[in-house]
Amino acid sequence: MAITISSASSSFAVSQLGSSQKSLASSLEKIASGQRINKAADDAAGMTIANSLLSQARGAGQALRNANDAISMAQVADSALGQSTTLVQSIREKALQAANASQTPETRQALQTDINKSLAQLNRIAQNTTYNGQQLLSGTFTGKEVQTGTNSSETIKLSITSAATDKLGDPTLGKLSEINVLSPESTQDAIKIADKALEQIDASRADIGSTQNQLASTLNSLTATSTNLLAAASSITDVDLAEESINFTTMKVLSEAKTFALAQAKNTNKQNILSLLQG
């Protein structure tokens, strides 16, 4: 006759031991990773919120990089316009020099040659000032949008007028590219054209400076936003190491106790079987 020994307490102990070991492994994973949430099962709702916050933080981080790039681009343009200002000032000085009644046709021609060299240099600056492959002072950099937020509508527009000599000057007296000091009469117009060109360059630099200030303000705001979003996500996902260490130690003790209890249950079953066989 077969003898079957069923132990409900033994089955229960096995079940409880398995549960404890899973909890122990989960606690160990949290301590090792520093994360309270390593998988959806740890906290599904918390993971959803944390992922949303991290997504927003990544968007803010990209906007931050965009703003930094735009500031760098504006600095390149402003620096080049600074060189243009120096050249136009030099042209104006030569026009003033040519206006002197003591000048001869030969000396005026020499001054005109120097002016032409400065005009050529101005055009090189206008054509060759680039950032990331884009010309900045040729007149083609207009209405460019910089994404400075996590929403599509959060943009700053940047436009830079042409610094080429045929785009600078006085609409009535003439373009800077046409300036000449070969006669006493033309030198007076040359001075006025140079003055107008300086005003135009100054206005362009003022616009760039205003945009830089706007970008710098946005940069500060984005930095604070990104920091706050990351802190909020961390408060949800990061583990409290002290608390989790206590939790791990507690579960380890319980797991060992359940292992001992299971071993005792098995030994009891063995003793019962031996007693039946010997009876």
Using one digit for the tens of pLDDT, what is the confidence trace for 55-111?
A: 888 888 888 898 999 999 999 999 999 999 999 999 999 999 999 988 999 999 999
Residue 7 pLDDT class (50, 70, 90 cuts) = low
What angle (nearest 5°) sits at the alpha carbon of residue 146, between those of residues 205 and 221?
Answer: 90
Judge if pTM exceeds 0.85. no
Maximal C-alpha separation, the chain = 141
- Mean of the pLDDT values across residues 135-156? 89
Over residues 186-238, the pLDDT tens digits come to: 999 999 999 999 999 999 999 999 999 999 888 888 888 888 887 887 777 76
Tokens of 236: 């949800």
